Structure 1
């Protein structure tokens, strides 16, 4: 049975250009069900999910598809054994995928990361902090040190929330949707994803750059635009979930 590598979900009436090819150089085709179609190419049974060349090629193919057509991006490494399983997945999630196509059409994603010193810091700092707590000489000393650590973490989070609020004031006028995470890991204060109308992309970028210029003490790392991976089916089953249910 043929293995298919899935690049995107599109409308059934989509007509693929002959100049498009997949990450293996394969011809792309559509697997239809009702008003939806999966954009696929035949691929190998095994796939290196850590190959940077394949990851980049996938991004390039998906970006081109989403630029030309109304399409939902599939994440790298989505492969399904047999066209019938693809049709089953489309049928089971037709409503949510169709709603996503309508909601995300004409939009792109930007990402913003704000590096900074977090309360947990690097691994050495974590070790020192835990060692300091564990070396407490009494129960009251232990509780005092643990409370101090908790207060530092709260202060750091409050700072990250303040940065996010300031960012929102600047970027919200150009943003259709947004998600964020405070202190996602050591050394990162804030990581946020923004859904932006293509027509607002330049204004969004200029606003983010202006925020950086006005924030001397902050580093603002802006990436994108790219297909709106982070916003596919936030309120329902996403493409990766669909493929996980039907791949083998």
Structure 2
């Protein structure tokens, strides 16, 4: 088949077939490209979309980018069920099979070391948010007609509100630290990511913890149970668990 080669991931050879109905980027089923003791999972994609110039333009199109990212992730998710994939970054494209094999040969030792480190492990993501606080009722300004109390009372009330907010925030940060320490006991490695931007994620509340955990599959059930138990221990906070994922945060690749 003509076209460029879109590379999803590099793996060790695996015998379990991927689902027959699985399609990837551009609606094309992924295939295995074997090179010695490595396998690249690839798809054929059209030059009209994935050559350098059209790809640069497409990456500015959020609808196209979102659809491509979902198709890419579908393949990675299917691979995670049958093997330990080393995901490559979105829109990793080569001219032909020879180019993919050359890449695998040049990076063979790095790929093998990373695959050994990730074998039998998955990534779990945990986020902690402070729930949005209700909007306070507007306070009448000091000195306005009909105000009960003095300006001093007004300032005292404002100070109390700020102190209460600071105490809640400190309690939330302490909860996030304790949770991270507990979850780290099940993980072989962790990553603390920058808090999510609420305008981009559209998740309500303020993101306090945004962490990834590299967890052996054998420990994943206990890890999930621990997260579930903590969800009721933090009134005013929301704990979100995602995964299991391929180990994007620990692969050394730009996921």
* Common fold: TM-score over 0.5: yes
Secondary structure of 1:5's partner? strand
Deviations 1:174-208 (A, max 9, x none): 21211003545463222111111222222111111
Distance 2:209 2:244 in 1: 19
Runs of 5+ in structure 1 lacking a partner? Answer: 118-154, 241-248
Q: Using a 3 Å threshold, how does the CA distance of structure 1 residues 27 and 218 change in structure 2: closer, same or farther?
A: closer
Distance 1:194 1:203 in 2: 13
The 5 A counterparts of 1:92-241 are 92-116=106-130, 162-181=174-193, 183=195, 185=197, 187-233=206-252, 238=253
Deviations 1:132-173 (A, max 9, x none): xxxxxxxxxxxxxxxxxxxxxxx9997776344301332123
Q: 1:88 aligns with which of 102, 112, 121?
A: 102
The aligned residue for residue 22 of structure 1 is 23
Moved more, 39-48 or 157-166: 157-166
1:15: Cα distance to partner? 4.2
Distance 2:37 2:94 in 1: 20
Distance 1:190 1:156 in 2: 15
Aligned residues: 200
Moved more, 33-42 or 177-186: 177-186
The aligned residue for residue 135 of structure 1 is none
Q: Using a 3 Å threshold, how does the CA distance of structure 1 residues 183 and 60 change in structure 2: closer, same or farther?
A: closer
Secondary structure of 2:91's partner? coil
Distance 1:22 1:81 in 2: 21
Deviations 1:8-41 (A, max 9, x none): 1012x43462726431343433333332121111
Q: Using a 3 Å threshold, how does the CA distance of structure 1 residues 15 and 44 change in structure 2: closer, same or farther?
A: farther
| Cα root mean square deviation, aligned | 3.1
Runs of 4+ with deviation above 6 angstroms? 155-160
Runs of 5+ in structure 2 lacking a partner? Answer: 51-57, 132-166, 199-205
The 5 A counterparts of 1:70-89 are 70-89=84-103
Native 8 Å contact 2:130 2:172 kept in 1: no
Moved more, 93-102 or 47-56: 47-56
Native 8 Å contact 1:110 1:225 kept in 2: yes
Native 8 Å contact 1:110 1:193 kept in 2: yes
Higher Cα radius of gyration: 2
Secondary structure of 1:103's partner? helix
Distance 1:57 1:100 in 2: 24
Native 8 Å contact 2:85 2:246 kept in 1: no
Secondary structure of 1:175's partner? coil
What TM-score results when the alignment is normalised by the length of structure 1?
A: 0.68
The aligned residue for residue 10 of structure 1 is 11
Q: Using a 3 Å threshold, how does the CA distance of structure 1 residues 25 and 184 change in structure 2: closer, same or farther?
A: closer
